[in-house]
Amino acid sequence: MSSFKGRAKIQHRKSCISGATRIAVFLVLLFGLGACQTLYEEAPAPEGTVGTGFTAPVIGTRLTYRTFTGKTSVKQEDWIVVTPGQVFDRPTYGLKSGARMIVRNRDNGNWVATYSGARKIKGATPDDNQMRHPLWVGKKWISTFVYKDYVVDREWSPVQNFWSVEARETITVEAGTFEVLRLKSDPGLHSSIISTIWFSPELGLEIKRRWERLEDHYLGAQKGRIELINIVPPAS
């Protein structure tokens, strides 16, 4: 009986320590996110700054991207810019490769949904708020949206990412040399992805993207990058 009481006291002590640890972690996360939210509160452009707007890519434009994941996996895909057949509550355009189509908001280029044939497999409501135009170097904002994976029937609300425009650069990839803005995102609530995007305002296209899915992502950890290797404008 005495040994049982001793074990009970030890277990109680352990549970108290565990509970205190959980509270400490929660407070660190809470205040950390609060600090990030303050840091990323959207502010007007400094006087004299000229931001870039968004022009959607031209329907009929053909693109080829090459994706690298891990150390050895390489995949190449051909895409065409199309008008989606689905009806949305905003103007959209699609990037179509075989049966797969990525739908984006025509007003800002933000991701709305992904389809496999007629089946919607993923979606963001209202969109993923990745771009918030006009863009200028030094701009910061918080993207917030609802994400749903229709294949596994799971929803996350809200998903939050902390975005910033880090630099204006000239980069060269296999498709050519492009003037781009480099954007960076860090994960907030319900997000486990770190992304860097090299975006061409002139073309309305991502020229290059690098991402890292963290271990707690529901699809598992992964690192990779995608690059534009060819672009063909539509026939006149």
Would 115 be classed as within a structural domain?
A: yes
Backbone angles phi, psi at 28, to 5 degrees: -60, -45
Above pLDDT 90, what percent of the chain?
75
137 & 189 share domain: yes
Would 102 be classed as within a structural domain?
A: yes
33 & 103 share domain: no
pLDDT tens per residue, range 98-123: 999 999 999 999 999 999 999 999 99
Cα distance between residue 19 and residue 187, in whole Å: 26
Eight-class DSSP state of 38: H
Please compute the mean of the pLDDT values over residues 199-203 and round it to a whole number: 94
2 & 92 share domain: no
Output the six-digit token pair for 210: 């690098």
Would 29 be classed as within a structural domain?
A: yes
Backbone angles phi, psi at 66, to 5 degrees: -115, 130
What pLDDT does 28 receive?
Answer: 47
Would 47 be classed as within a structural domain?
A: no
110 & 207 share domain: yes
Q: pTM score, two decimals? A: 0.81
Q: Please name every residue paired with 228 in a beta bridge, in sequence order, or none if there are none.
A: 65
pLDDT tens per residue, range 134-159: 999 999 999 999 999 999 999 999 99
Give the total number of structural domains in the chain.
2
CB neighbours of 91 closer than 8 A, spacing ≥ 6? 105, 106, 107
What CATH number should be reported for the domain holding residue 107? 2.40.360
Q: How many CB atoms lie within 10 A of CB 178?
A: 20
225 & 145 share domain: yes
Range of the domain at 139: 62-232
